[in-house]
Chain A
Amino acid sequence: MDIPQADLDLLNEKDKNELRSFISAETQRQRVQGQTHALTDQCWKKCVTSPIKSNQLDKNEVSCMADCVARFLDVNLAIVSHVQKLTGGGKQ
């Protein structure tokens, strides 16, 4: 980071608040991108199994990728709710 402390001291409250919201939106965007990298990696391995003959996904591969993402997230939710049950936590 090449922004000197003297410059940071110049920030007024309004700009500090703008920076806070920018950083939190950017952090969120980074999380989504990170999750996208992990899911693309996993689902590519499951869905792109035949030799690559084109620079595009075929119809089956597109729907396989989309299903793979959706089912991965279903599994996540199922695990969270099961663990909540096991530990007696969760709401109601």
Chain B
Amino acid sequence: MSDSTSETVKKAIIKQVLIESQSANARTLMEKIGENCFNSCVPKPGSSLSSSEKTCVNQCTEKYMAAWNVVNQTYIRRVQQEMGNQ
């Protein structure tokens, strides 16, 4: 990168940090969905994944993401409230 400037280096660092934090977040979310939806949808593992288990896993995945959003909003609102109270 011979034509790098302070500006391009800064932008490259910001981009790299965002990529890494977003992928860490996505990885954690996938792990949690995996654990929780496996528990919710496959209480007794059989010899194969049944079609109703597959449907459950698909619904559970979307539902877990919805739950994540509810928690995130509630948490942020609470933190903001508490900062206002100080």
* Interface range on chain B (Cβ under 8 Å from partner): 35 or more
Tell me whether B6 and A10 are in contact (CB under 8 A).
Answer: yes
Interface of A (DSSP majority class) = helix
Given known contacts A26-B21, A55-B63, A62-B70, is B28 in contact with A37 (CB within 8 Å)? yes
Complexed CA–CA distance, A12 and B20 (Å): 24
- Residues on B lying within 8 angstroms of A by beta carbon are 1, 4-7, 9-10, 12-14, 16-18, 21, 24-25, 28-29, 32, 35-36, 40-41, 56, 58-64, 66-68, 70-72, 74-76, 78-79
- Residues on A lying within 8 angstroms of B by beta carbon are 1-4, 7-8, 10-12, 14-15, 18-19, 22-23, 26, 29-30, 32-37, 39-41, 43-45, 47-48, 51-57, 61-62, 65-66, 69-70, 73
